[in-house]
Chains A and B, each alone.
Chain A
Amino acid sequence: MEMTTQIRQLPAQAREGTGRRTAPRRSFAAGRTGRMALGAGTVVAVMAVWEVLARSGAFPPGSIPPASAVLAEFIGQLGTLGFWEALWNTVSVALLGLLLIVVVASPLALLIGLVRPVQESVWFVLEFLKPIPPVALIPLGLLLWGPSPGMKLFLIVMGAIWPLLTQLIYGIREINGVGAEMARSYRLGRWLTVSRLVVPSVLPFALTGLRISASIAVIVAVVTEMIGGAAGLGQNIVVAQSAGALAEMYALILAAGLLGLAINAGFRGLAKPLLFWHPSIRQEGTL
């Protein structure tokens, strides 16, 4: 499921968050409407608590505005052109970064997954690069590309490539074993091998990795805009912050969170038609 990076003992399927339901339950929570109602109820409850806390003065003055003010500002933002421009700047570069990640990660994963010496060779370098935060690379990005989409792309690739890369390597390792032997012994042609063996085995892993990488790409994009000064939601957050426009700042933060949520849901939706045959999709389920 989420962020699955290490899968050893489980059978060959992407550990997507869509596992089997244990038993058909006739409870309220099992129905689609029921689940949605419960989720919506919690959201309303959290908002209500936030509103009461803010109104009762539990937060120091000028710290966190009430939920209603933030919500009103959020709706107001939806009507402004600047908001949609910023959103587009964030989303377009995040998706472009994702494309670049696919282009970089796929051949790299093939090499690492299929060629043992390559895996051994690059392991140290990759494990060393992984924990370096995109924030620390901002000066380097600024120097090379300035406060531009190019810098954002660089940092997105450096920060968000890891989930897809790791998932792909797992997917490729799986075909490398028994399946490859079988394909060889049945003398399947190249096309048959690819379409019947490679794609079906790798696709679930690829989609999980892609979805996680996408969420991280959006987060890195926003953070880069906040600190590095490229146009987008993050930059609007910083401008609102320096003017002390707190309701607007929290409305934009709300938008950033919802954007991540939407991207996640979008990639989940994408997985469904592509993986209709896969057990994880056939058995309906979400989270």
Chain B
Amino acid sequence: MTARQWSATLAALLVLVLASGCGVGRGSAVELGPGAQIKVGVIPVADFAPIYIAAEEGYFADEGLNVKTQVMQNAAAIAPSVINGQLQFGTAAVPPFLGAVQKGLPLKAVANGTSIAADPAKDPSALVAGPGNGITRPKDLEGRTVAVNALSSIVHVTAAAAVKADGGDPAKVTFVAMPFPDMLPALARGAVDAASLVEPFHARSVAEGARVIAHPYSKVLQPNGTFTVVFTAQPFIETNPGIVEKFARAVDRASVEAARNPQKVGAVLAKYGKLPPEVFARIRVPMYSDKLDTSALASTGELMRGLGFLPGSVDVESAVWK
């Protein structure tokens, strides 16, 4: 072959790769046979313990489902895989889920993960101020730096909402993203002025004498409303309605069990989440519930829109299965 032919072959190959890349996106419409493996992308936090309980206690097996859990870091990583059928179900807190739906991703919530406890004493979230910087309430955070686990996450949205609810301007707060374990050292060092934490870091910060200035979740979100969801892709629902039905039923059953038996939550968190039992004994367990609450999704959506996290409104009804 001459150089020209070689180059032409190479170019043709590249174009082929590019073109095949553009054809993806319909993978979730594939119909799964009975016994086919169903993969769930799970974020390793306490909120999704029911998925593990359903697997451990055989609830999925009772429904005739062969489910495999897959640890993933966040909704941004899970959503594309669900859309393309690499995962059949995913987990997310409400804000990133609504963000994805608002951008036009064909996702639907099929089951409730956790809900918001109305009682601040049961709220696993906390805005914690650093030592000796005089911050006593969320409004004081104007002009300060606050650590959140990821930008536009539930932690970020609720912290900003808490500032606003206290009469402050969230736009004047500098939010920076860092993993939860890095927040307490950053606070101690004065690198950030406050941090928005969840369990198990909330319990640890309290044990170390940190000043909690607010519990953002219970302060700004609709009480008893949906907080995290289990979702799938619209094409998957169309081709596999039976699987969705069974899966949602098993997860709901596990949510009820989790609310009734916290020690089962502790057991799966120790096994899958590397959370030591003695730490679990000290943390505030999220409120597990099987009630997928559309009005709470709508209210969180409005909250996000008001704070500038969503450029437009979300059709919540179309984002929920059934």
Contact = CB atoms under 8 A, between A and B. Distances in A.
Interface stretch (B29-37, B237-245, B270-278): B270-278
Interface in A223-265: 226-229, 231, 235, 238-246, 248-249
Contact of B181 (A111, A144, A249): A249
Contacts of B6: 111, 115, 118
Given A143-B81, A244-B201, A245-B274, A62 B73 contact: no
A228 B77 contact: yes
A235 B74 CA distance: 12
A65 B184 CA distance: 14
Contact of A242 (B25, B44, B81, B184): B44
Interface in B252-290: 269, 272-276, 279
Which of the listed residues A143, A146, A148, A248 has the most CB atoms from chain B within 10 Å of its own CB?
A146
Interface in A95-141: 111, 115-118, 121-122, 138-140
B188 A118 contact: no
A241 B86 contact: no
A57 B77 CA distance: 37
B21 interface: yes
A276 interface: no
Nearest to B274: A243
Interface in B1-33: 3-4, 6-7, 10, 21, 24-25
Contacts of A139: 76-77, 80
B70 A229 contact: yes
Interface in B181-215: 181-182, 184-185, 188-189, 200-201, 204, 208
Given A61-B208, A62-B184, A62-B185, A147 B81 contact: yes
B235 interface: no
B275 to A, nearest CB: 5
A174 B271 CA distance: 56
A244 B200 contact: yes
Nearest to A121: B7
Contacts of B179: 241-242
Interface size class of A (residues with CB under 8 A): 35 or more
B271 to A, nearest CB: 10
Given A147-B87, A229-B73, A241-B179, A118 B7 contact: yes
B265 to A, nearest CB: 14
Contacts of B4: 117
B177 to A, nearest CB: 13
A138 B204 CA distance: 33
B181 A239 contact: no
A77 to B, nearest CB: 11
A70 to B, nearest CB: 14
A63 interface: yes
Contact of B84 (A118, A143, A248): A143
Contacts, number: 120
A143 B71 contact: no
A143 B80 contact: yes
A245 B24 CA distance: 38
B98 interface: no
A116 B21 CA distance: 30
Contacts of A239: 44, 71, 272-274
B113 interface: no
B138 interface: no
A141 to B, nearest CB: 9
B18 to A, nearest CB: 12
Contact of B77 (A121, A229, A241, A242): A229
A115 to B, nearest CB: 4
A116 B4 CA distance: 11
A248 B191 CA distance: 25
B165 interface: no
A61 B188 contact: yes
A60 interface: yes
Contacts of B208: 61-62
Given A148-B86, A241-B181, A227 B24 contact: no
Contacts of A142: 77, 80-81, 84, 86
Contacts of A88: none
B84 to A, nearest CB: 5
Given A242-B273, A243-B273, A60 B185 contact: yes
B180 interface: yes
A6 to B, nearest CB: 24
Nearest to B70: A147
A121 B14 CA distance: 13
Interface in A147-194: 147-148
Nearest to A143: B80
Contact of B184 (A60, A116, A245): A60
Nearest to B149: A242
Given A138-B77, A146-B85, A239-B273, 10 more contacts: A117-B4, A140-B21, A143-B83, A147-B86, A147-B87, A227-B73, A231-B71, A243-B274, A245-B275, A245-B276
Interface of A: 59-63, 111, 115-118, 121-122, 138-140, 142-148, 226-229, 231, 235, 238-246, 248-249
5 contacts: A61-B185, A62-B181, A143-B84, A147-B87, A229-B73
